[in-house]
Amino acid sequence: MFVRKRARTARRLLTLAVAAALASVLGAAVPASAAPGPSFTNPLVGAPNSADPSIVYSGGNWYYVATTWSSKIIMRKSSTMAGLKTAPERTVYTLAPGPGCCTMWAPDLQRINNRWYLYFSAAASPGQGERRTGVLESSGTDPMGPYTYRGILNLEPNNGWAIDGSVVRFDGHVNHYVYSAFRGGEQGLFIAPMSSPTQVSRNGVRISSPALPWERRGAPVNEGPYAVYNAGKTFLTYSASSCQTPDYKLGMLTWTGGDPMSASSWTKKPTPIFERHDASGVFGPGHASFVRSPDNTETWVVYHANSSPNQGCGTTRTTRAQKINWNPDGSPNLGVPVRTGTSIAGPSGDS
């Protein structure tokens, strides 16, 4: 009897010790939120080089690139998100005359296989119909370059009109490239598998058309796709309606599993996820990208918008940023656009 009691006691003590050790390990693995970074007010970056923003955080610094409507690709670097407001602009690449030149917009900065790739839309010359997607490759691990031009992605048949793209990643699949193109008279979303960071292995297939009324204000448009990941799910945000209107807004597709190249593997949310907020004086919010805070506990949306309903899609659009939340199903909850001039605590760990 005494021996059995001692054995049971020993087993209980061992169980408690193992549980304590496991709790210690799990507690250490869960990231703790750090202090907020320096506060800022929107716009985060003002006109003119401030539409279609792309931001990454790497090696203790933020890197920002946006539309210039010129042959120059310009970047800002800052140790805090707030510091991007006054960070100097640096030209990291100047496009030469040819298919990848000269009106640059909608850049997307991505790190793949220890190199940086800068995807961008461009027209051969202002006013012409050509619209192509080009790509630059860094020579090392610095997002500021130097960069080498790697050509045009062959996204559409006959190297046709293809813009506003970005890289999307899927578990168990190669990287894919999502973009906007005209087929059948409407501007929709397409996806193509990437054979390398600088080329695709086949032309894209359509995964979304602007079929809903809120996607057709001013013109039927789906463009500017960008992925955000959470709870093991992949969500693809995109801009809808004409950017010439204050009703430019964000919609969302959800990848439901299966082949990303099949439209049946995607479901569209029937309502917008981010749109104009007249009470806050924010119009046409769109072309968003997403970035994690330095301590990896927060996700932030970075987007452009106007402060007047009549400003359209020119150089009046400025870059704004705000922290997002998550819905019970894991999907992003962007809330409403924050009024310019409102103080926003910076990303967690941003110091």
Instruction: Please identify every residue annotated as catalytic.
Output: 52, 223
263 is written with which tokens? 């439209």
Q: How far apart, in whole angstroms, are the C-alpha atoms of residue 200 and residue 192?
A: 6
- Residues 107, 119 contacting (CB under 8 angstroms): yes
- Residues 66, 54 contacting (CB under 8 angstroms): yes
Q: What is the DSSP letter of 1?
A: -
Q: How far apart, in whole angstroms, are the C-alpha atoms of residue 233 and residue 24?
A: 28
Cα→Cα distances 330→167, 174, 192, 229, 238, Å: 21, 23, 26, 9, 18
Q: How far apart, in whole angstroms, are the C-alpha atoms of residue 260 and residue 255?
A: 7
Q: What is the DSSP string of 44-101?
A: SB-SSS-SS-EEEEETTEEEEE---SSSEEEEEEESSSGGGGTPPPEEEEEPPSSTT-
297 is written with which tokens? 């506990």
Question: In the chain, what is the straight-line distance between the N-terminal and C-terminal CA atoms, in Å?
Answer: 62
Cα→Cα distances 140→116, 137, 310, Å: 8, 9, 43
Q: How far apart, in whole angstroms, are the C-alpha atoms of residue 243 and residue 209?
A: 16
- The dihedral region occupied by 23, where left means phi > 0, alpha psi between -120 and 50, and beta the remainder, is alpha
3-class secondary structure, 237: strand
3-class secondary structure, 18: helix
Q: With CA atoms as reference, report the closest residue to 125 among 146, 103, 157, 104.
A: 103
Q: How far apart, in whole angstroms, are the C-alpha atoms of residue 205 and residue 238?
A: 16
